[in-house]
């Protein structure tokens, strides 16, 4: 038997799984069938409120939509946050449908000219990833007669410790090396573009509160140094985020109250060059990850080689991360449960496998389960971020997952 990660608090105490106050079986009936992702907007709203209570007054909260760009979810989140961060022309279009362009920033390497042109015409901020991108943006601005709004994404000279995915501190496709940033800021300002400030993102999925605190302090110090060297006050310093969520046995959540308190002290003591600057943090996973549940039906229960296999109608084509094939080195179990028997004692050890014809498609490896029968609903938790859109949906030709947004605003719509 191998351990599973912690079931999020919102669901852990239940006997029969409900999401947004509705039974899992009823949600499946409403959506039509499994496999089904359900996202509880109410839980996302609670998260945002919790974060705002923790953060110093005036620090903006941005949502990085690549974590989950479902249109209904995005429409629900947009009014609750100060900005949306996008990373493609497709995401930009989704963001523009729900948020004014002035509250959207567009990061990501390899922005094509047509993407730059759409962003500039709309008035979204481009988080420039290189000098070359700035040259192209300025040329497009020149041709269209619109001054681009440009922030500089900085490749910081440090990284977020304990981060599942490091994005700073070394050679990187993301951002401009810190040493070259002041010159680029001068280029942008001299060209008559609107300089929007700095974007400094040092890592992702960190559960190390002390490391996040340390990184935020280092980020503010770096922004001050670069601003001094550039001789310009950044209107906005986007401090990144990187807050992780507990996926695996032994993981513990980050302490957002401690992070907010420490950031307050750093900002109170910030260097004069940043006195008039605004600040924001951008989060994806932490805001939406725990609010999503992936529901699948058991199609078969079979024994082989002395082991039991519970075969479900979903798989890694919808929820790649739970199979351990999305940026993890060692495969460990996400939390999962039989929806109708959440707290029944385990009577067996079984592996929960998806319906794809590949050994990679294992959603739970030798987990402890109560009795399971064909037709039962299996719930995989922590499916709100990097699920449906971060999985190879076309692999093996099964249909896409259904997605349903519940809770929060009273509007519940399927797709």
Ligand X SMILES: *Cc1c(COP(=O)(O)O)cnc(C)c1O
DSSP string, 197-254: EEEE--EEEE--HHHHHHHHHHHHHHHHHHHHHHT---SEEE----B----STT----
CB 60 within 8 A of CB 278: yes
Closest to ligand X by CB, 227 vs 280, is: 280
Residue 282 Cβ vs ligand X, minimum distance, rounded to whole Å? 5
Contact status, residue 54 vs residue 259, Cβ threshold 8 Å:
yes
CB atoms inside a 10 Å sphere around CB 161 = 16
Nearer to ligand X, 27 or 283 (CB): 283
Task: Provide the minimum distance between the beta carbon of 149 and ligand X in the complex, in angstroms, as a whole number.
Answer: 17
Least distance in angstroms from the C-beta of 64 to ligand X: 3
Nearer to ligand X, 51 or 367 (CB): 51
- Kindly state the smallest distance separating residue 321's Cβ from ligand X, in Å: 12
Pairing of strands 292-304, 377-380: antiparallel
CA distance 374 to 184: 61
CB of 127 to ligand X, least distance (A): 7
- Smallest distance from the beta carbon of 285 to ligand X, in angstroms? 3
- As measured in angstroms, the least distance from the Cβ of 385 to ligand X is 6
Describe the crossing of helices 113-122 and 89-96 by its angle, rounded to 10 degrees: 20
Nearest residue (CB) to ligand X, 153 versus 362:
153
Q: Token pair for residue 119?
A: 């962003």
Question: What residue is closest to ligand X based on CB?
Answer: 284
Please, which residue, 87 or 212, has the CB nearer to ligand X? 87
Q: What is the DSSP string of 22-84?
A: EEHHHHHHHH-SSSEEEEEHHHHHHHHHHHHHHSPTTEEEEEEGGG---HHHHHHHGGGSSEE
User: Toward ligand X, which CB reaches closer, 168 or 335?
Assistant: 168
Helix (H) or strand (E) holding 287, with range, is helix 285-288
CB 181 within 8 A of CB 154: yes
- Residue 67 beta carbon to ligand X: minimum distance, rounded to whole angstroms: 4
CB-nearer residue toward ligand X: 29 or 165: 165
**Taking the C-alpha atoms of 33, 39, 43 and 48 in order, what is their torsion angle to the nearest 10 degrees?**
-170
Residues present in the chain in total? 415
What tokens were used for 219? 């980020």
Token couple for 77 = 């989140």
Residues that bind ligand X (CB under 6 A): 64, 66-67, 85, 87, 107, 201, 204-205, 241-242, 282-286, 385
Could you tell me the smallest distance in angstroms from the CB atom of residue 14 to ligand X? 26
Nearest CB to ligand X, comparing residues 107 and 369: 107
CB closer to ligand X out of 121 and 390: 390
């Amino acid at each position: 038997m191998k351990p599973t990660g912690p079931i999020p608090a919102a669901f852990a105490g239940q006997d029969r799984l409900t999401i947004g106050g509705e039974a899992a079986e009823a949600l499946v009936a409403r959506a039509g069938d499994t496999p089904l992702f359900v996202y509880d907007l109410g839980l996302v709203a609670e998260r945002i409120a919790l974060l705002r209570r923790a953060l110093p007054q005036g620090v903006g909260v941005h949502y990085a939509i690549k974590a989950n760009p479902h249109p209904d979810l995005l429409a629900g989140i947009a009014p609750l946050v100060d900005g949306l961060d996008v990373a493609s022309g497709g995401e930009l279009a989704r963001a523009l449908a729900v948020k004014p362009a002035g509250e959207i920033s567009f990061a990501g390497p390899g922005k094509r000219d047509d993407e730059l042109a759409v962003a500039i015409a709309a008035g979204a901020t481009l988080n420039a990833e290189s000098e070359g991108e700035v040259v192209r943006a300025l040329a497009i601005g020149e041709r269209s007669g619109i001054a681009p709004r440009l922030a500089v994404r900085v490749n910081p000279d440090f990284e977020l410790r304990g981060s599942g995915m490091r994005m700073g501190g070394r050679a990187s496709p993301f951002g401009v090396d810190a040493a070259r940033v002041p010159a680029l800021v001068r280029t942008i300002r001299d060209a008559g573009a609107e300089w929007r400030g700095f974007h400094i993102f040092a890592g992702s999925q960190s559960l190390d509160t002390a490391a996040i605190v340390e990184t935020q302090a280092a980020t503010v110090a770096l922004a001050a140094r670069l601003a001094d060297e550039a001789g310009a006050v950044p209107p906005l310093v986007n401090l990144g985020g990187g807050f992780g969520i507990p996926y695996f046995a032994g993981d513990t959540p980050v302490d957002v109250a401690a992070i907010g308190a420490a950031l307050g002290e750093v900002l109170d003591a910030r260097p004069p060059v940043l006195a008039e600057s605004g600040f924001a943090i951008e989060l994806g996973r932490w805001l939406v990850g725990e609010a999503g549940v992936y529901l699948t039906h058991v199609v078969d229960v079979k024994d082989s080689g002395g082991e039991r296999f519970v075969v479900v109608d979903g798989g890694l084509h919808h929820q790649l991360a739970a199979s351990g094939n999305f940026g993890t080195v060692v495969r460990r179990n996400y939390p999962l449960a039989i929806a109708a028997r959440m707290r029944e004692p385990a009577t067996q050890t079984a592996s929960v496998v998806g319906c794809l014809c590949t050994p990679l498609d294992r959603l739970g490896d030798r987990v402890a389960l109560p009795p399971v029968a064909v037709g039962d609903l299996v719930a995989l938790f922590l499916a709100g971020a990097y699920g449906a859109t971060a999985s190879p949906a076309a692999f093996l030709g099964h249909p896409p997952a259904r997605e349903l947004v519940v809770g929060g605003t009273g509007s519940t719509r399927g797709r």
